């Protein structure tokens, strides 16, 4: 689809500086702009590209001052916040590209499943018995939804997502390709001799509240009893492991390759970096930030604390310790020199 500068300005409440009738049909980075594309400038590090870009339209802040003229083929749209305005257009662009409805064949929808209005079910999808699906839900090809699941309004399940039985997913959620929700928790009990492990049945479920997004190839295990819970607004990156009976608090974000072991409770508004490992049966207070590759082996009770290391501790202490650690080779050399002076032999 094509949009004119005038139409775009109306959407983002901007002011056109140039040809309001110029058309764009695609998006681009400012340094890679071509004729017919829309770009933006928000980071001062990219300012020089505004004078050389071939993009037809560039969104800039109202406060931005041109030091040289832009190319005659480039039209500017001035807004209060160029980054936010471009993000708004990206969302609109994504909606247009993913707008689908109807049930494709072949697919299987159980006779007693309830599907809301304006939904999309892709080819080879499977929807089990007593499933309830809200309005404007998109279920892409090869998605599996087990018996008795409930999916809220405006939720999207991308290709290959597997939702095991009895799981609940809220409104406005996005689950990316090949993620598994509701697989068995890692529960095994050793026998009396301790050599053979017997599987403990995992009969709970997973509850995902509203506005949650989960990256691709992640795994959210069902609870042994009760529920594994992702609270409202949680964001998980790709390749994240959430074990059985874990609870992640509202608006907490977890970066890729991190794992939370069973029955740990993470507070709200936490930020967990990539490759973080959290042991089981712990509690992490609200607002805690954990740096990438850290290992958490005990509960964190102080709200808002920032930690790093494995085992992790306060980031200020970590930085001071790291300075000492880096100085150990020099200290070793000094000790060696002193030893030679004291004992020349």
Cα–Cα distance measured from residue 109 to residue 232, given in angstroms and rounded to the nearest whole number = 28
> Rounded to the nearest 5 degrees, what angle is found at the Cα of 232, between the Cα atoms of 229 and 237?
75
Q: Hunting for tokens 């190839």 — which residue is that?
A: 217
- As to burial, measured by CB atoms within 10 angstroms (0-12 exposed, 13-18 middle, 19+ buried), residue 205 is buried
Q: Hunting for tokens 């928790």 — which residue is that?
A: 185
Cα–Cα distance measured from residue 222 to residue 244, given in angstroms and rounded to the nearest whole number = 5
- DSSP 8-state symbol, 300: B
Strand, helix or coil for residue 326: helix
Q: Give φ, ψ of 5 to 5 degrees.
A: -60, -35
Per the annotation, the verdict on 244 as an active-site residue is yes
Catalytic residue among 142, 195, 244, 281: 244
- DSSP 8-state symbol, 251: T
Would you please indicate which residues are annotated as catalytic (active-site) residues?
244
């Amino acid at each position: 689809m094509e949009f004119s500068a005038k139409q775009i300005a109306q959407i983002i409440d901007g002011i056109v500086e140039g040809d309001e009738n110029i058309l764009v049909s695609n998006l681009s980075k400012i340094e890679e702009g071509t004729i017919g594309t829309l770009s933006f400038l928000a980071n001062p590090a990219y300012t020089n590209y505004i004078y050389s870009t071939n993009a037809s339209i560039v969104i800039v802040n109202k406060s931005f001052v041109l030091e040289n003229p832009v190319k005659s083929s480039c039209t500017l749209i001035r807004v209060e916040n160029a980054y936010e305005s471009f993000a708004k257009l990206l969302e609109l662009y994504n909606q247009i590209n993913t707008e689908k409805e109807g049930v494709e064949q072949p697919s299987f929808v159980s006779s007693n499943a309830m599907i809301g209005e304006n939904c999309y079910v892709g080819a080879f999808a499977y929807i089990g018995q007593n499933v309830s699906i809200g309005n404007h839900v998109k279920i892409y090809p090869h998605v599996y939804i087990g018996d008795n699941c409930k999916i809220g309004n405006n939720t999207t399940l991308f290709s290959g997502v597997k939702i095991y039985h009895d799981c609940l997913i809220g409104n406005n959620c996005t689950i990316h390709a090949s993620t598994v929700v509701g697989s068995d928790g890692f529960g095994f009990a050793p026998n009396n001799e301790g050599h053979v492990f017997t599987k403990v049945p995992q009969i709970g479920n997973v509850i995902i509240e509203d506005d949650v997004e989960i990256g691709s190839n992640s795994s959210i295990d069902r609870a042994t009893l009760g529920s594994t819970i992702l609270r409202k607004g949680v964001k998980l990156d790709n390749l994240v492991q959430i074990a059985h009976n874990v609870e992640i608090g509202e608006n907490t974000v977890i970066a890729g390759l991190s794992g939370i072991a069973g029955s740990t409770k993470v507070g709200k508004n936490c930020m967990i970096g990539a490759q973080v490992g959290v042991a089981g049966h712990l509690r992490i207070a609200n607002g805690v930030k954990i740096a990438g590759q850290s290992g958490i082996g005990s509960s964190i009770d102080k709200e808002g604390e920032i930690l790093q290391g494995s085992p992790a501790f306060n980031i200020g202490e970590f930085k001071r310790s790291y300075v000492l650690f880096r100085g150990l080779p020099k200290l070793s050399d000094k000790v060696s020199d002193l030893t030679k002076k004291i004992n020349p032999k």
